[in-house]
Amino acid sequence: MKRIISLTLALALVLALGVALAQPQIFAPEGEGQIGLGAIVLQNDMPVYEKADEASKTVMTLPAGRHIILMDIEEDWAKCVLSDDVDGAPAGYVKTNTLLINPAYLMTQEATTLYAWNDLNAFTFETVDEYTLFPVMFSDGEWAVVSYNGASAWIYMGAAE
């Protein structure tokens, strides 16, 4: 009888841990690295300027969701390099209000639904695979808003602890 109770308790513990581990996990922002702060582009076709001035030449545009590194931030402008070319010359200057600077990240632990707003009955964009990584724009413990294909999506995190 003791063995059955022990096995039942062990199974209950394993199941409880499995449910807890299956919830998405948020990882804290990384902070400044050797080169600078990481950032995510929030605006599609975001202009990168030659100088910290909107009247200067546009050297390229970046898609929403692109990862960049900010080398220096002054007021509304940041000098950036592309995250896949951190050894190269600076790409140029971007407006900081079009970026998610030094975000926390959320990683799904199983197939996870992306919602249009914080309601389980809301329109859904899609279901993503396990271990999908998203930059977090906001989290209240039960829901997280993530950057998704140039827009925002809500992910249900489960009951707040």
**pTM for the predicted model, two decimal places:** 0.68
141 pLDDT band, cuts 50/70/90, is confident
Tens of pLDDT, residue by residue over 26-79, are 766 666 665 688 899 988 899 999 999 999 999 999 998 888 999 889 889 999
- Say what percent of the chain tops pLDDT 90: 41
Question: Which one is predicted more confidently, 135 or 159?
Answer: 135
Instruction: Check residues 15 and 150 and name the one with the higher pLDDT.
Output: 150
Across the range 99-121, mean pLDDT stands at 92
Which domains are delineated in the chain? 2-25+104-156 (2.30.30), 37-101 (2.30.30.40)
Q: Concatenate the DSSP letters of all residues of 87-136 into one string.
A: TS---EEEEGGGEEES-EEEE-SS-EEEESSS-TTS-EEEEEPTT-EEEE
Supply the pLDDT for residue 6: 37
